Structure 1
Amino acid sequence: MERLINYFSTIPSSHRSIILVGGITFFWLIESSLPLFKFSYHKWRHAGVNIFFTLTTIIVNFFLAFILLKSSDWAVANHFGIINWLPVMPLWIYAILGLLLLDLIGAWFIHWLEHKVKWMWRFHIIHHSDMQVDTTTANRHHPGESVFRFVFTTIAVVITGAPMWVVMMYQSISVLLSQFNHANITLPPTLNKILSWVIVTPDMHHVHHHYVQPFTDSNYGNIFSIWDRLFGTFSHINPKEIVYGVDTQMNASKNESISSLLKMPFE
């Protein structure tokens, strides 16, 4: 455990890049060989649009990263936050609680909020407008959405009281799980049923990308599936029946145009 803490306390930027690029490459290869849907689209052109938004997300997080660092250092130094108020516990329990709380506040709650607050939804709709969901869709976020997602991640760090090694561990797992649950793949039914009680699987998250409500407003989770089951937002549909997109934004050419997507929240 100490070795794990030391690694995530000083994780190099190059390793974080490897996690991002390696994850996309790994799931890209799997979905190319065993796709859930055989989309009639130009895979590289589609990826190019989503990678553009991945880069804008990286840029936003790069320039705001010092806020996250200072927030975590402040919480630890002042013994502030939920996990700092609990009795002394083994480090592995400390880590799991930190991951659960960061996932709840910094991922599930802001995601739920984006579907309930109109001006937030106007930015988040860019993510849902992808009509060929695959592993590159994971980071398809408008720069505006990247900003308020970062704000809620910072709030989550302060409320949780997470040290930076927990934050870095959370972000690394979050990147990989997001790429996994957006990937154009499906799992064997029995394996999916077992895993989906703990983590968000592709079959579970693809439901969230179905083009009509109430499915669009369900399965908000990113890492842990417990939150959707706990808050009654879990739903299921046969993966083969899913139609990706948003019923109000089904213009394929517009949804694959970077300039149109950047302007979409302001229309």
Structure 2
Amino acid sequence: METIITYFETIPSSHRSLILVGGITFFWLLEGAIPLFKFNYKKWKHALPNLFFTLTTIIINFALAFLLLKTADWVTANNFGIINWLPEMPLWLYVVLGVLFLDFFGAYLAHFTEHKTPKLWMVHLVHHTDHKVDTTTANRHHPIESVIRFAFTLLGVFLVGTPIAIIMLYQAMSLIFTQFTHANIKMSSKLDKLLSYVIVSPDMHKVHHHNMLPYTDSNYGNIFSIWDRLFGTYMELDREKIVYGVDTFPDEATNSSLKELLKQPFQGYRKPTNVN
């Protein structure tokens, strides 16, 4: 564990880029080998707007990274935050709790808030209006949402009290998990279900991408499934019944246009229809 922490304390930018590109490449190839749904689409054409938003997310996070570093330095120097106020514990447990709580603030709470706040939902809508969810959908976030997500992560770093090594580890895990859970890959249902007791599995997250309520407002987690189970937002739906997109924004051509996606947050508020 000390070796891992030392590595992530000074992880080079090139290695972080390799994690991003390597993850997309790996899951892209896996989607071709064991697809969950056989999409009738030109994969590269579909990927272009998603990769554009991936790039804007990288730029925004890179530009604001100094805030994470400053906050991490402050909480470390002042022994501030949840994991620093707990009784002394083994390093492995300190790291696990740090990642677990960052996952709550940076992913679950941010995601839940976006769904429950009308103006933020319209920003987050860009992510949900993908009709062909695959690994490139993972970082299909409007630039405004990238700023919002960063703010929640920064809040998490402050309240949890995580040093920079745990932050870098969390971000690497978060990236791989979101690529994994969005990837159009078919796993054994039993294995997927088993994984979902601990982590967010592909089938679990794809329920969240169903085009109607209440499924759209469920399964907000990114790495750990504990938060959805703890707060009662966990739901199941047969993978064969999942329909991607948002039923109140049904035009796939519009939802595939980069120009239209950039304008989506500024349209009139419309939540998905409740299936019940």
| Aligned equivalent of 2:124 | 124
Q: CA deviation at 1:186?
A: 2.5
Q: CA deviation at 1:197?
A: 0.3
Amino acid at match of 1:28: W
1:181-238: CA deviations, max 9, x gaps? 0000122122112111011111000000000000000000100011111111011111
Q: How many residues align?
A: 267
Within 5 Å, which residues of 2 pair with 1:69-148?
Answer: 69-148=69-148
| Aligned equivalent of 2:24 | 24
SS in 1 for 2:71: helix
Amino acid at match of 1:47: A
Q: CA deviation at 1:261?
A: 0.3
CA distance, structure 2, for counterparts of residue 176 and residue 148 of structure 1: 20
Range with greater deviation from structure 2 (183-192 or 208-217): 183-192
SS in 2 for 1:61: helix
CA distance, structure 2, for counterparts of residue 193 and residue 57 of structure 1: 31
Please report the TM-score for the alignment, with normalisation by the length of structure 1: 0.99
CA distance, structure 2, for counterparts of residue 158 and residue 219 of structure 1: 25
1:161-192: CA deviations, max 9, x gaps? 00000000000000000000000012212211
Identity %: 61
8 Å Cα contact 2:193-2:201 kept in structure 1: no
SS in 1 for 2:147: helix
Within 5 Å, which residues of 2 pair with 1:193-212?
Answer: 193-212=193-212
SS in 2 for 1:240: helix
Within 5 Å, which residues of 2 pair with 1:1-267?
Answer: 1-267=1-267
CA distance, structure 1, for counterparts of residue 147 and residue 75 of structure 2: 21
CA distance, structure 1, for counterparts of residue 71 and residue 246 of structure 2: 36
Tell me the C-alpha RMSD between the 2 structures.
0.6
CA distance, structure 2, for counterparts of residue 171 and residue 84 of structure 1: 20
Runs of 5+ consecutive residues of structure 1 not aligned to the other structure: none
Amino acid at match of 1:264: Q
Range with greater deviation from structure 2 (152-161 or 187-196): 187-196
CA distance, structure 2, for counterparts of residue 186 and residue 232 of structure 1: 26
Runs of 5+ consecutive residues of structure 2 not aligned to the other structure: 268-276
CA distance, structure 2, for counterparts of residue 138 and residue 52 of structure 1: 12
CA distance, structure 2, for counterparts of residue 86 and residue 253 of structure 1: 52
CA distance, structure 1, for counterparts of residue 91 and residue 248 of structure 2: 47
1:83-119: CA deviations, max 9, x gaps? 0111111100000000110001110001000000011
Amino acid at match of 2:114: E
Amino acid at match of 1:257: S
SS in 1 for 2:178: helix
Runs of 4+ in 1 over 4 A off after TM superposition: none
Amino acid at match of 1:100: L
CA distance, structure 2, for counterparts of residue 242 and residue 209 of structure 1: 8
Q: CA deviation at 1:32?
A: 1.0
Range with greater deviation from structure 2 (151-160 or 185-194): 185-194
